[in-house]
């Protein structure tokens, strides 16, 4: 369904260099193609493998919401004496169905991370509710949260700080698995599966995070998130620290994983073209509020809200003529 640029390059596109070679065939879409892609994903696209065939695999988007965020407010308490409070989220509502990607886009400071943290139970919700698979988890106890960590996982922007540098990749991946009661043997089998799933060689497990490139490290962070077969992953700017071609490969990996496992993503990014590429639906956030949300294609190509129009016109495209037109349109908006 993607219009341009697929397989336009040679076989070494997955040139994520340094230790640990990537086994899988090359990335299917070059970053620029991703950026040129005018449409978002459709629910139908989610069920298609994009490696050439139209093989429809098991993943379909569920009917009932898996995650439901209703009228959530988050107020940060100021630290210290008489520090003011900060109202970071205002009546935020959204939902995500099983197997679906909801892209949350907005400028820095708009409250995206706060929303992700509220879902993960890392930010206190002042009012409103978060429910997962029908259960209210807004103020889940530590014990419930621990059980929930099977189902809800997270991938952060910076794998440097999220992966323990003193641990081998195998022990990083083993940690969540054994913490939930698996034997060492079971863990080893699961680690082999995970390394294969993210396209690293089996012996990558013996190495340390520093021995990998940024893209490979992000793959390892993704594997760790996948270890317990979660149903939802909060991806907070997972490709923002990567160069363009690596971004595209990681996005493709996330899509492939979704197709094969049926996991849902809350995909957070400040970059409209990244969100457009991976999301079925998109919500636009500004100053702690959702300005508009809906079908990814529609919101990212013909947005209704002036702020989203601005965001769209400000997002760079690698076509000088279209970019010039955008600059012109943007100037006229202002």
Ligand X SMILES: Nc1ncnc2c1ncn2[C@@H]1O[C@H](COP(=O)(O)OP(=O)(O)O)[C@@H](O)[C@H]1O
- Decide: 142 and 221 in contact? Cβ < 8 Å: no
Assigned token pair, 118: 């509220």
Residue 94 tokens read as 């959204």
CA distances from 91 to 45, 77, 161 (A): 31, 18, 31
Closest distance of CB 311 from ligand X, Å: 13
Name the one range near ligand X by CB under 6 A: 36-44, 50-58, 106-114, 202-210.
106-114
Please choose which of Mg ion, ligand X, none residue 299 contacts, taking the beta carbon within 5 to 8 angstroms, the exact cut-off set by kind. Answer: none
CB 242 within 8 A of CB 252: no
Q: How far is the CB of 36 from ligand X (least distance, A)?
A: 26
Q: Tokens 């509020």: give the residue.
A: 289
Residue with Cβ nearer Mg ion (113 or 216): 113
Among 27, 34, 36, 88, binds ligand X (CB under 6 A): 88
Residue 88 site contact among Mg ion, ligand X, none (CB < 5 to 8 Å, cut-off depends on kind)? ligand X
Stretch that binds ligand X, among 108-116, 165-173, 181-189, 201-209 (CB under 6 A): 108-116
Of 155-194, binders to ligand X (CB under 6 A) are: none
Structure tokens at 255: 């899509």
Note the residues at the interface with Mg ion (CB under 5 A). 113
CB of 120 to Mg ion, least distance (A): 13
CA dist list (Å): 265 to 87, 93, 97, 226: 25, 16, 9, 12
Out of 114, 157, 246, 247, the residue judged to bind ligand X by CB under 6 A: 114
238 near ligand X, rule: CB under 6 A = no
Contact call for residues 139 and 125 (beta carbons, < 8 A) = yes
Provide DSSP, 180-223.
TT--HHHHHHHHHHHHHHTTB-GGGGGS-GGGB-HHHHHHHHHH
Residue 109 binds what, of Mg ion, ligand X, none (CB under 5 to 8 Å, by partner type)?
ligand X
Minimum distance, C-beta of residue 114 to ligand X, in the bound complex (Å): 3
Q: How far is the CB of 86 from ligand X (least distance, A)?
A: 4
76 counts as binding ligand X under rule CB under 6 A = yes
Instruction: For ligand X, give the closer residue by CB, 156 or 277.
Output: 156
Task: Give dist(CA 265, CA 100) in Å, integer.
Answer: 6
According to CB under 6 A, which one of 63, 108, 143, 334 is a site residue for ligand X? 108
Per CB under 6 A, does 112 bind ligand X? yes
The answer to whether residue 106 forms part of the interface with ligand X (CB under 6 A) is yes
Nearest approach in angstroms of CB 108 to ligand X is 4
* Cα-to-chain-centroid distance, residue 322: 28
Measured in degrees and rounded to the nearest 5, phi and psi for residue 184 equal -60, -35
Q: Rounded to the nearest whole angstrom, what is the least distance from the CB of residue 116 to ligand X in the complex?
A: 8
Residues 6+ positions from 37 with CB-CB distance below 8 Å: 2, 3, 4, 29, 273, 276, 277
Q: Which helix (H) or strand (E) holds 89?
A: strand 86-97
Q: Please, which residue, 257 or 275, has the CB nearer to ligand X?
A: 275
| CB closest to Mg ion, residue no | 113
CB of 316 to Mg ion, least distance (A): 20
Residues lying near ligand X in the complex (CB under 6 A): 76, 86, 88, 106, 108-114
């Amino acid at each position: 369904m993607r219009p341009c640029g697929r397989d336009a390059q040679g076989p070494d596109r997955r040139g994520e260099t340094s230790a640990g070679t990537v086994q899988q065939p090359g990335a299917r879409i070059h970053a620029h193609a991703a950026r040129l892609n005018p449409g978002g994903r459709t629910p139908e696209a989610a069920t298609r493998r994009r490696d050439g065939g139209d093989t429809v695999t098991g993943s379909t988007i569920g009917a009932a919401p898996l995650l439901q965020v209703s009228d959530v407010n988050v107020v940060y308490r100021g630290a210290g004496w008489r520090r003011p409070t900060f109202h970071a989220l205002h009546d935020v509502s959204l939902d995500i169905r099983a197997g679906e990607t909801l892209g949350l886009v907005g400028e820095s400071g708009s409250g995206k991370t706060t929303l992700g943290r509220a879902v993960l139970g890392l930010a206190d919700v002042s009012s409103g509710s978060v429910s997962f698979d029908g259960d209210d988890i807004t103020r889940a106890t530590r014990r419930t949260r621990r059980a929930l960590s099977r189902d809800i996982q997270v991938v952060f922007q910076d794998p440097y700080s999220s992966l323990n540098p003193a641990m081998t990749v195998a022990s990083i991946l083993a940690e969540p698995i054994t913490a939930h009661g698996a034997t060492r043997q079971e863990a080893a089998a699961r680690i082999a599966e995970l390394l294969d799933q993210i396209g690293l060689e089996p012996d990558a497990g013996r190495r340390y995070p520093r021995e990998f490139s940024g893209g490979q490290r992000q793959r390892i962070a993704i594997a760790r998130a996948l270890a317990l077969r979660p149903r939802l992953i909060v991806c907070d700017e997972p490709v923002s620290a990567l160069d363009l071609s690596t971004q595209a490969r990681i996005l493709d990996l996330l899509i492939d994983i979704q197709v094969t496992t049926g996991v849902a993503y809350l995909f957070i990014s400040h970059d409209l073209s990244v969100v457009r590429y991976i999301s079925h639906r998109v919500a636009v956030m500004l100053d702690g509020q959702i300005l508009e949300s809906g079908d990814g294609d529609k919101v990212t190509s013909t947005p209704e809200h002036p702020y989203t129009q601005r965001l769209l016109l400000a997002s760079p495209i690698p076509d000088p003529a279209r970019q010039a037109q955008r600059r012109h349109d943007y100037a006229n908006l202002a």
